[in-house]
Amino acid sequence: MPGLLVLLAWAALLLSLALALRNRRRNALIAKLPGPWLFVPLAGNMLELIVQVIWLKGDLVELGTKNVRKYGPIFRLWSGHQPVVLISGPEDAEVVLTHPAVADKGQNYKLLSSWLGDGILLAGGAKWHSRRKMLSPAFSVRVLEQFVALFNKHCAILEDKMLALAGGPPFDITPFMSLFALDVISETSMGVQIHAQTQEDSEYVRAVKTACRCFLVRQVFPWLRSDTLLALTATGKSLSEATGVLRGMTTKVIDQRTSEVASSVSSSQPEEEDDIGLKQRAVLLDHMLTLRGRGITDEDITDEVSTFMFAGHDTTMTALCFTLHLLSLHRGVQERVFQEVRDVVGDSGPVTAQHLNDLKYLECVIKEVLRLYPSVPVIVRDCKQEFDLPSGYTIPVGSQVGIDIFHLHRNPAVFPRPLEFDPDRFLEGGPAHRFGYLPFSASQRNCIGQRFAMMEMKTVLARLVRSFRILPPSDDYRLQLKIEIVLGAQGGYLVALERR
Q: Determine if residue 447 is labeled as part of a ligand binding site.
A: yes
For residues 131 and 145, give the distance between their C-alpha atoms in angstroms, rounded to a whole number: 23
pLDDT digits (tens, 9 = 90+) for 417-426: 999 999 999 9
Q: What is the pLDDT of residue 249?
A: 81
pLDDT digits (tens, 9 = 90+) for 111-155: 888 888 888 888 877 888 888 888 888 888 888 898 999 999 999
- The residue that leads in pLDDT, 392 or 483, is 392
| Averaged pLDDT for residues 323-348 | 97
Give the number of residues written for the chain. 500
pLDDT digits (tens, 9 = 90+) for 320-329: 999 999 999 9
% of the chain surpassing 90 pLDDT: 44
Q: Domains of the chain by range and CATH? A: 1-24+52-499 (1.10.630.10)
For residues 131 and 134, give the distance between their C-alpha atoms in angstroms, rounded to a whole number: 5
Q: What is the pLDDT of residue 280?
A: 46
Sign of CA dihedral 155, 156, 162, 166: positive
CB burial string 26-43: b at 16+ within 10 A, e below = bbebbeebebbeeebbbb
Angle between helix axes 314-329 and 450-467 (nearest 10 degrees) is 40
For residues 164 and 415, give the distance between their C-alpha atoms in angstroms, rounded to a whole number: 40
CB atoms within 10 A of CB 161: 15
- pLDDT exceeds cutoff 80 at 55: no
